[in-house]
Amino acid sequence: MGLDFTHCEAHWSYSDFHGFRKRLAACIGMNLDDMEGFGGEIPFENYQDDIIPLLEQPDSDRYLSPDVCQTVAARLRQLIRHWPDDDIDKGNGTSASTK
């Protein structure tokens, strides 16, 4: 069982996707585990970043609108561009943000 993106080859297990989102959150100075919905009490509204819609979404049965996806995809590419090229999260993130 895992999380697939319907338009590309990106695939994560739920636990790996959580780790991916934690890494993205850290890139913007956020500890995801401190956030509402992830065990903490800090509301996502305290942060202003285009990646937030991806971070705050539940893992299943949810989607982002096409307009939000475009904004999130652009920010995702910015955040992962300096990760190692052989990083599986970078590969999945690149695939998910370019289709």
- How many domains does the chain contain in total? 1
Assign residue 54 a region: left if phi > 0, alpha if psi is -120 to 50, beta otherwise?
alpha
Its domain, for residue 27, covers: 3-98
C-alpha–C-alpha distance, residues 33 and 63, integer Å: 22
| Contact between 59 and 14 (Cβ < 8 Å) | yes
C-alpha distance across the termini of the chain, in Å: 23
pTM over 0.75? The answer is: yes
For 53-68, the pLDDT digits (tens) are: 999 987 666 777 889 8
For 18-45, the pLDDT digits (tens) are: 899 999 999 999 999 999 999 999 999 9
